[in-house]
């Protein structure tokens, strides 16, 4: 990792409250963790990568929320087209489904409204909103409103597709990655996570996160103490937004 | 309230606007329906509108008249006479068959019209209503004004009504007329036929005659039932009425001198009513779970809106917030028409609510979550704010139930077997190719794309729950990874000839 000049590092280390995500390389890059008072944009690279994005987003939400409940607002179309959220699957990733409140909304506008109200109420640990498809409701103004509400409760915006302008503090693109075979050529689990945008730091890094069966958490390939030969490194910085 | 011509007036209401088609079949003899003055060519009498109407039914000894309208009664007919007798006197008498079910439904509709005056209404079948106006009259400016308002509303019907201290007294006054209970005929006590005969033989004609005599002697001579009726009619003993709906414990109402046409004012009015209700709830140590708002329009129609909360509430601001959500989210917006003349807000369900404790941070946060859930459930519907609950079953579709979010959470045990993050219900059919008939798939096609399986784990056999009616065949589940690194949950169901493959879920 490149060293950051001290004066910039000081700027970056404003009194932003952060929570560690877990994998050491990510937390190091993020100056200690993900900001708890901000909007974070989570993009599934393609609709087929939604499960991978859900895993990363839900894990992030769990870290942000601590022991408080998480409110997950899903648009009906997401439930119908990409499959219903399956609680045992969340439990298998170490996220207690009892902490999740699932809100289903008909359209993107009501997803946003419910998410805003939930974030402003201050009663929750994290708010995860999942509108479906491109929506004119999800413009710069709407995301700025979400970002403001996120000063009370962290907000994660989960979508599939191309990046769109938003007021998010960080933007991540997640895709499923081939896993290291387990015993008897059984699949493991792995995610490819790119930091496309980072308002208070340096974007353009990517990590391969692998599921650790014993610790029951995602770790970067380096943490796992092995030279996994995936082509990683710098990726072009997305200029959107 | 007594409607002496209820069934005939039910029919003639329909006759006025649709010539009887809506309300029931009326047979006319010699005269058309309609609303124009006409002369009967059989008797030469003039009628300003429709001919007299009788409701008839087949009884022993032929068709008999069960009920009449006011015109027919004025012509000297009486219920119980045979239709042949009546026709002999009034040849142009229109008739309609009796329909007790329709009469009962009509009485219920009349009761609904009275909802605006009081929530406590009892049916006095077949043709009367009892309204308990205790504590409601002041809203209308006193009992006299309330009585006048009721009479105005039913101006198009024949109504005999009275207000008295007890339901039986009011009923007797309404049905038998007069101002003084003691002047009423003894029939107002509705004695049994035997007692009625005995009373007539004894020369006791007025209620006052009985009231002057010692009760013990009356009981010995005419039976205890009569004495009890007497005491009730005279207001010495009160028998509670059985209302149509259980009366709410807490209500607040507003009656307007001028009809309210602007729905914007509703929030302010609601705030005022909620203040009253919450004060009453606090005094009683209760909280409301269900709040009902009845909006009464001047034209007689009423609309009822309900707001439900997951926990007992008595903070006016929190309840008002739910009401704002409810009013904003109405699929069919409020239509005040010519205006509302009364509103009533009642607490339809209450629960004990201890005095609020402050200072416990955890409780406060839990309360905030509940408040948020209430707001979202009011706006989106109760079935859209959910929580996952585990269910002891092997069927993956059923392993996670979704319950309304306000139910308490249940602990989850992580499963050893892999379970996907997203589950398709029903499972999607895919075409798959396997190397061995009982092995994992080599490649499968889903949504037009071919996925080459690189890694696979399985099978995990999930046996059918044969004790269920909708049991499915045994399934062999495989967790597979394709060349792009996506992980899927596929299963094979062995059919009669070829095995069928399904995609059931997606893993991270």
Please check the confidence at residue B391 and state whether its pLDDT lies above 80: yes
B410: in domain: no
Position A230 scores a pLDDT of 41
Residues B325, B282 share a domain? yes
As to burial, measured by CB atoms within 10 angstroms (0-12 exposed, 13-18 middle, 19+ buried), residue B16 is middle
Q: What is the rounded average pLDDT of the residues A63-74?
A: 92
In a shared domain, residues B213 and B308 = no
* Predicted confidence (pLDDT) at residue B14 exceeds the cutoff of 80: no
- Please tell me whether residues B30 and B146 are part of one structural domain: yes
Q: Are residues B373 and A101, on separate chains, in Cβ contact within 8 Å? A: yes
Predicted confidence at residue A8, as pLDDT, reads: 62
| Phi, psi torsion values for B370, nearest 5 degrees | -60, -40
Q: Which domain holds residue B207?
A: 162-247
Residues B233 and B254 in one domain: no
Among B127, B160, B193, identify where a domain stops: B160
B88 CB near a chain A CB, below 8 Å? no
Higher local confidence (pLDDT), A230 or B309? B309
Using a CB–CB cutoff of 8 Å, tell me whether A92 touches chain B: yes
Residues B258, B156 within the same domain: no
Tell me the pLDDT of chain B averaged across its residues: 81
Does the residue B283 lie in any domain?
yes
Same domain flag for B227 and B268: no
pLDDT band at B418 (very low <50, low <70, confident <90, very high): confident
Dump pLDDT digits (tens) for A162-193.
888 889 999 999 999 999 888 888 898 999 99
Q: What is the mean pLDDT of residues B347-367?
A: 65
pLDDT given for residue A145 in this prediction: 92
pLDDT band at A153 (very low <50, low <70, confident <90, very high): very high
The domain total for chain B is 4
pLDDT digits (tens, 9 = 90+) for B136-155: 788 888 888 888 888 888 88
User: Taking CB atoms and an 8 Å cutoff, what residues of chain A touch B456?
Assistant: 185-187
B310, B334, B353 — which closes off a domain?
A: B353
Shortest CA distance from A124: residue in chain B: B369
Q: Is residue B304 part of a domain?
A: yes
Of A224 and A62, the structure prediction assigns the larger pLDDT to A62
Reply yes or no on whether the pLDDT at B411 is more than 60: yes
Does the distance separating the beta carbons of A124 and B372 come in below 8 Å?
Answer: yes
Does one domain contain both B5 and B143? yes
Q: Which of B138, B160, B182 is the last residue of a domain?
A: B160
Does B296 lie in the same domain as B224? no
Give yes or no for residue A91 having a pLDDT over 80. Answer: yes
Write out pLDDT tens, residues B77-95: 888 888 888 888 887 788 8
B57, part of any domain: yes
Q: Which residues contact A203 (CB under 8 A, 6 or more apart)?
A: A170, A171, A195, A196, A197, A237, A238
| Cα–Cα distance for residue pair A54/A20, rounded to 1 Å | 18
Query: Which of the pair, A17 or A102, is modelled with greater confidence?
Result: A102
Residue B395 included in any domain? no
- Please answer yes or no on whether A186 and B371 come within 8 Å at the CB atom: no
Tokens of B138: 């002041």
Domains of chain A: 17-220 (3.40.50.300)
Pair B48, B9 in one domain: yes
For B496, counting Cβ atoms within 10 Å of its Cβ (0-12 exposed, 13-18 middle, 19+ buried), the class is exposed
Higher pLDDT, B27 or A58: A58
Q: What is the CATH number of the domain that holds B26?
A: 3.40.1170.60
Could you tell me the CA-to-CA distances from B132 to B120, B160, B236 in Å, in that order? 5, 16, 17
pLDDT band with cut points at 50, 70 and 90 for residue B497: confident
Lowest-confidence segment of B2-11, B38-47, B181-190, B471-480 by average pLDDT: B38-47
pLDDT, tens digit, for every residue of B481-493?
999 999 999 999 8
Assess whether B83 and B131 both reside in one domain. yes
Per-residue CA distances from B187 to A101, B233, B381 (Å) = 66, 12, 55
pLDDT score, position B177: 76
Residue B442 or B180, more confident: B442
Q: How far apart are CA B493 and CA B477, in angstroms?
A: 9
Beta-carbon contacts of residue B444 (< 8 Å; ≥ 6 apart)? B430, B431, B432, B433, B450, B451, B453, B490, B501, B503
| Least confident piece of the model among B20-24, B186-190, B456-460 | B20-24
Q: Is residue B156 part of a domain?
A: yes
| Residue B48: predicted pLDDT | 58
Q: How confident is the model at residue B355 (pLDDT cuts 50, 70, 90)?
A: low
The tokens 């170490």 sit on which residue?
Answer: A94
User: Which CATH number is B288's domain given?
Assistant: 3.30.1490.100
Q: B400 burial class (0-12, 13-18, 19+ CB within 10 angstroms)?
A: buried
Please report the pLDDT score of residue B28 as a whole number. Answer: 54
- B328 and B226 within one domain: no
A10 — pLDDT class (breaks 50, 70, 90): low
DSSP A180: P
Count A/B contacts: CB-CB distance under 8 Å. 178
Does B376 contact A185 at a Cβ distance shorter than 8 Å?
no
Do B136 and B182 lie in a common domain? Answer: no
Using an 8 Å CB-CB cutoff, list chain B residues near A111.
none
For the segment A20-53, what is each residue's pLDDT rounded down to a tens digit? 888 888 888 888 889 999 999 999 999 889 999 9
Q: Does B427 touch chain A (CB under 8 A)?
A: no
How sure is the predictor about B190, in pLDDT bands with cuts at 50, 70 and 90?
A: confident
């Amino acid at each position: 990792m490149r060293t950051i000049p001290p004066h910039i590092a000081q700027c970056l280390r404003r009194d932003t409250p952060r929570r560690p995500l877990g994998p050491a390389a990510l937390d190091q890059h993020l100056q200690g963790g993900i900001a708890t008072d901000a909007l974070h944009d989570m993009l599934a690279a393609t609709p087929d990568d939604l499960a991978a994005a859900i895993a990363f987003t839900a894990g992030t939400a769990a870290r942000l929320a601590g022991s408080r409940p998480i409110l997950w607002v899903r648009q009906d179309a997401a439930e119908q087209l990409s499959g219903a959220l399956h609680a045992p699957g969340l439990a298998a990733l170490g996220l207690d489904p009892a902490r999740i409140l699932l809100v289903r909304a008909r359209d993107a506008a009501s997803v946003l409204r419910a998410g805003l109200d939930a974030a402003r109420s201050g009663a929750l640990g994290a708010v995860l909103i999942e509108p479906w498809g491109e929506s004119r409701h999800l413009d710069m103004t709407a995301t700025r409103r979400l970002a403001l509400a996120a000063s009370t409760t962290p907000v994660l915006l989960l979508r599939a597709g191309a990046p769109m302008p938003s007021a998010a503090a960080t933007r991540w693109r997640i895709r499923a990655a081939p896993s290291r075979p387990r015993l008897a050529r059984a699949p493991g689990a792995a995610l490819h996570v790119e930091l496309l945008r980072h308002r208070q730091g340096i974007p353009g890094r990517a990590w391969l996160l692998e599921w650790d069966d014993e610790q029951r958490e995602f770790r970067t390939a380096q943490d796992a103490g092995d030279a996994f030969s995936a082509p990683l490194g710098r990726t072009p910085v997305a200029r959107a937004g | 309230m007594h409607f002496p011509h209820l069934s005939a007036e039910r029919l003639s209401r329909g006759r006025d606007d649709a010539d009887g088609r809506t309300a029931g079949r009326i047979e006319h003899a010699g005269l058309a329906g309609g609303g124009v003055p006409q002369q009967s060519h059989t008797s030469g009498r003039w009628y300003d509108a429709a001919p007299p109407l009788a409701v008839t039914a087949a009884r022993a000894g032929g068709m008999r008249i069960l009920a009449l309208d006011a015109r027919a009664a004025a012509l000297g007919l009486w219920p119980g006479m045979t239709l042949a007798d009546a026709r002999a006197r009034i040849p142009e008498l229109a008739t309609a068959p009796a329909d007790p079910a329709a009469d009962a439904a009509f009485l219920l509709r009349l009761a609904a019209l009275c909802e605006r005056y009081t929530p406590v209404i009892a049916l006095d079948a077949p043709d009367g209503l009892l309204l308990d106006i205790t504590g409601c009259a002041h809203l209308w400016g006193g009992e006299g004004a309330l009585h006048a308002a009721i009479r105005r509303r039913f101006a198009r019907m024949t109504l005999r009504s009275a207000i008295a201290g007890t339901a039986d007294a009011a009923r007797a006054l309404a049905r038998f007329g007069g101002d003084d209970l003691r002047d009423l005929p003894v029939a107002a006590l509705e004695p049994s036929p035997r007692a009625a005969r005995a009373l007539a033989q004894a020369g006791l004609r007025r209620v006052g005659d009985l009231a002057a005599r010692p009760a013990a002697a009356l009981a010995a001579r005419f039976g205890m039932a009569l004495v009890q009726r007497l005491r009730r009619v005279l207001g010495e003993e009160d028998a509670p009425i059985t209302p149509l709906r259980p009366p709410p414990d807490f209500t607040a109402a507003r009656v307007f001198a001028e009809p309210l046409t602007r729905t914007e004012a509703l929030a302010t009015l609601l705030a005022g009513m909620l203040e009253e209700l919450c004060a009453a709830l606090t005094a009683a140590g209760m909280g409301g779970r269900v709040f009902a708002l009845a909006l009464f329009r001047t034209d007689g129609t009423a609309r009822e809106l309900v707001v439900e909360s997951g926990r007992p509430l008595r903070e006016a601001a929190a309840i008002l917030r739910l009401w704002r959500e409810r009013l904003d989210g109405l699929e069919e917006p409020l239509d005040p028409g010519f205006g509302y003349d009364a509103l009533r807000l009642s607490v339809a369900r209450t629960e004990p609510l201890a005095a609020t404790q402050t200072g416990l941070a955890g409780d406060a946060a839990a309360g905030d979550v509940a408040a948020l859930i209430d707001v979202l459930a009011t706006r989106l519907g109760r079935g859209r704010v959910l929580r996952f609950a585990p269910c002891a079953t092997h069927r993956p579709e059923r392993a996670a139930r979704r319950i309304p979010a306000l139910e308490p959470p249940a602990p989850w045990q992580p499963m050893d077997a892999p379970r996907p993050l997203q589950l398709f219900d029903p499972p999607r059919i895919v075409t798959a190719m396997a190397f061995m008939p009982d092995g994992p798939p080599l490649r499968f096609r889903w949504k037009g794309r071919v996925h080459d399986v690189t890694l696979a784990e399985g099978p995990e056999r999930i046996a059918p729950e044969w004790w269920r009616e909708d049991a499915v065949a045994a399934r062999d589940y495989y967790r597979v990874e394709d060349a792009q690194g996506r992980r899927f949950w596929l299963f094979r169901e062995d059919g009669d000839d070829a095995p069928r493959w399904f995609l059931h879920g997606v893993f991270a």
